[in-house]
Structure 1
Amino acid sequence: MLIFWKARLAILAVPKTGTTALELALAPHADAAILNPPGLKHCTVKKYRRELAGFFEQKGKRPLELLAVMREPVSWLGSWYRYRSRPGLSGQPNSTAGISFDSFVASYLADPQPPFARVGSQAQFLDGGVDHLFRHGDTDGLLRFLEGRIGMKIDLEKTNVSPGGDLDLSDEMHSRLKSERVKDFDIWDGIG
């Protein structure tokens, strides 16, 4: 999470949406940068409003506007799946090694979810609403907005890229995901 007090902007870090690249480029210029622990770095909208807004904002001042990036829901799950397939997690309960993407998505939709499929939800992260929501992949639009708002040129480097992997999802599982995670797809489809 990055705070730009003069620009009245808080950039929330939705996991697996490319925010690490933003942090690397912007943290030295931010008024506050929460990079660890992950529970604070990836602070949800509700948690920010409930626990941190009062700390970063001053009475009588306009509240900070919230900005976030969202990834297409299947691609977002694919990034988690690939990230958790890396050799460093091999043998751990959250490893996806040896599991097909279809099985990973089925496990994500299960109740209870096995440890490897507990990745949260972008809809839950964004619950409460943000002022500026950008699609992962609309880097030009995001940078135009940020450069105008913060007043500086931003150069992003690709970082924290998940390893490659087979992301074949059956039509049946795709349909099930869309019907069981409607909010995620509705938010994605509504980003203008």
Structure 2
Amino acid sequence: MLVFSKENLVILAVPKTGTTALAGALAPRASMVLRDPPHLKHTPCRRYNRFLRPLLMQPGGQAPELMAVVRHPVDWLGSWFRYRTRDALAGHPNSTRDVTFDDFVLEYCKAQPAPFATVGSQAKFLRTADGEIGVDHLFRYEAWDKVIRFLDQRLHMRVAPQQKNVSPSMDLTLSATVAAQLRDIHPDEFAVWHAAQA
């Protein structure tokens, strides 16, 4: 998470949406950087509103605006799947090395998925306790140029993030049946992505 006090902006770090690259580019400019432990770096809206928002209020009582990036649900799951195939996780319960992408997504769709498919939810991350999307500026990962344009203007600087924490490249295609099941079981994941700026 990045905090810019002067610009009254907080960037929430939704996992697997390029926020590590943004942090690398913007950390020297930020008033505050929460990078460790992971539960602080990846503070969701609900936890932010409860614990951090009161601390970051402006002297006049104005709350910082929130910004976040959301990724298409299939692409987001694909990034998690690819990330968990890496050598460092071989033999670990979180490893996806011995499962197909279809099986990974089917497991994610279960009420209690196995450890390798327990990756959270972008929709839950971005929603408040009332169930509303809790960020003021929500961008699609696939429209990265709009993310950069917004930050260039808001921070009055040229933002040029370098890719970091990139998952291994591989061809991932969901079967039509599994893709339909994902949409049926997790419609909120798609709704949040559709609500973002394209």
Determine the structure 1 residue equivalent to 2:54. Answer: 54
Residue 19 in structure 1 maps to residue 24 in structure 2 = no
**Does the 8 Å contact 2:69/2:139 carry over to 1?**
yes
**Does the 8 Å contact 2:2/2:32 carry over to 1?**
yes
Determine the structure 2 residue equivalent to 1:71. Answer: 71
Q: Tell me, which stretches of 5 or more residues in structure 2 are unaligned?
A: 129-133
Q: Tell me, which stretches of 5 or more residues in structure 1 are unaligned?
A: none
CA deviation map 1:76-97 (0-9, x unaligned)? 0000000001010000010001
Determine the structure 2 residue equivalent to 1:31. Answer: 31
TM-score (norm 1): 0.97
Output aligned runs, 1:113-192, within 5 Å.
113-128=113-128, 129-192=134-197
Number of residue pairs aligned between Structure 1 and Structure 2:
192
CA deviation map 1:44-76 (0-9, x unaligned)? 001001011111224523110000000000000
Determine the structure 2 residue equivalent to 1:82. Answer: 82
Q: Tell me the secondary structure at the aligned position of residue 97 of structure 2.
A: coil
Q: Tell me the secondary structure at the aligned position of residue 62 of structure 1.
A: coil
% of aligned pairs identical? 48
- Cα drift, residue 144 of structure 1: 1.1
Determine the structure 1 residue equivalent to 2:131. Answer: none
Determine the structure 2 residue equivalent to 1:105. Answer: 105
TM-score (norm 2): 0.94
**Does the 8 Å contact 1:9/1:66 carry over to 2?**
yes
Structure 1 window deviating more from structure 2 (100-109 vs 49-58): it is 49-58
Query: Root-mean-square deviation (CA), in Å?
Result: 1.0
Q: Tell me the secondary structure at the aligned position of residue 68 of structure 2.
A: strand
What residue identity is the alignment partner of 1:25?
Answer: A
Distance 1:136 1:36 in 2: 23
Distance 2:161 2:36 in 1: 20
Q: Tell me the secondary structure at the aligned position of residue 10 of structure 1.
A: strand
**Does the 8 Å contact 2:58/2:64 carry over to 1?**
no
Runs of 4+ residues over 4 Å off in structure 1: none
- Cα drift, residue 99 of structure 1: 0.3
**Does the 8 Å contact 1:101/1:166 carry over to 2?**
no
- Cα drift, residue 137 of structure 1: 2.2
Distance 2:20 2:78 in 1: 18
Distance 1:99 1:55 in 2: 44
**Does the 8 Å contact 2:10/2:66 carry over to 1?**
yes
